[in-house]
Amino acid sequence: MLLGVNIDHVATLRNARGTTYPSPLEAALTAETHGADYITLHLREDRRHIRDDDVAAIARTVRTHINLEMALTEEMLEHALRVRPQDVCIVPEKRQEITTEGGLDVIALQQKIADYTHQLTAAGIRVSLFIDPDETQIQAALDTGAPAIELHTGAYADAPAHERPRQLAKIEEAAYFASERGLTVNAGHGLNIHNVAPVAKILPIAELNIGHALIAQSLFLGLPAAIRQMKETIHRARNGV
């Protein structure tokens, strides 16, 4: 199971003071050195954290690869075609939200997603759709031609304890449903050291994208130790040890 480290909140902290530090590029390189399998970053339309020059510098410098999260807009499509990351994850975006709330409505946006996917795929970019664990959305995702999905784990992460098993079962069923139909299945959102293990045990899930909890934990442990702790937790869960 691969770990994508989302470094958006390093940029959030930098921007809060209008300084040049902490540097998202330095975070990306440190993350890679200490176990990140790739770097995830979200260029939001309002540029509230990651900026265009961050994407360019990180894409140019990383030794692994980047997974660029972006909204379904013409501007972002052009940006991705310029930068040519290995992966693009298409996410829904609302201006006022604190973070990505809910998955893409692939059913409503099917034609536009199929069109963007076609253009990105032609440029050699792997497209993933960030969706809720819902069979009708997965079926619609298949029809767009996207080779991968990322299951939104936010409902599971935010659920009260008594509700969590039901949310986890939804993720597990969706992961098997999608992988049996040939999709690569990733997952992420709201995962932390306390709730990641049950998700890591779901075998069809290939990659996890984790940001907020890792950057938060790095305040106390440092980024290298926070990533190591997360990798070990995932590895132990995955291998049943």
- Is the CB of 234 or the CB of 240 nearer to ligand PXP? 234
Omega before residue 147 within 30° of 0, cis: no
Site residues (CB under 6 A) for ligand PXP, limited to 125-144: 130
* Number of chain positions touching ligand PXP (CB under 6 A): 19
Which element (helix H / strand E) includes 213? helix 212-221
- Distance in Å, CB of 211 to ligand PXP, minimum: 3
Q: Is the distance from CB of 201 to CB of 238 less than 8 angstroms?
A: yes
Is residue 85 within the footprint of ligand PXP (CB under 6 A)? no
Q: Does 22 sit behind a cis peptide bond, omega within 30 degrees of 0 on the bond before it? A: yes
CA atoms within 13 A on the CB side of 101: 5
212 marked ligand binding residue = yes
69 is catalytic: yes
Nearest-5° angle of CA 175, CA 97, CA 13? 100
Report the 10 Å Cβ neighbour count for 48: 14
Which phi and psi (to 5°) does residue 90 adopt?
-85, 125
For ligand PXP, which stretch binds (CB under 6 A), given 29-37, 114-122, 163-171, 187-195?
Answer: 187-195
Any contact of residue 93 with ligand PXP (CB under 6 A)? no
- Stretch near ligand PXP under the rule CB under 6 A, chosen from 52-60, 186-194, 218-226, 228-236: 186-194
Encoded tokens for 80? 């991705």
Which residue out of 32, 69, 93, 172 is catalytically annotated? 69
Secondary structure letter of residue 20 according to DSSP: S
Q: 240: alpha, beta or left, given left = phi > 0 and alpha = psi -120 to 50? A: left
Q: In this chain, which of 100, 117, 167, 184 binds ligand PXP, going by CB under 6 A?
A: 100
Find out whether 152 is annotated in a ligand binding site: no
By CB under 6 A, residue 6 contacts ligand PXP: yes
Among 36, 185, 210, 230, binds ligand PXP (CB under 6 A): 210
Interface with ligand PXP, residue 89, by CB under 6 A: yes
What are the start-end ranges of the H helices in 18-109? 24-33, 52-61, 74-83
Take residue 129 and report the two structure tokens written for it.
Answer: 């759709």
Query: Per CB under 6 A, which region of 78-86, 168-176, 210-218, 223-231 contacts ligand PXP?
Result: 210-218
| Residue numbers belonging to the annotated binding site for 1-deoxy-D-xylulose 5-phosphate | 8-9, 44, 49, 99
Could you list the residues that contact ligand PXP (CB under 6 A)?
A: 6, 8, 42, 69, 89, 91, 99-100, 130, 150, 188-191, 209-213
Q: Which residues are catalytic?
A: 42, 69, 189
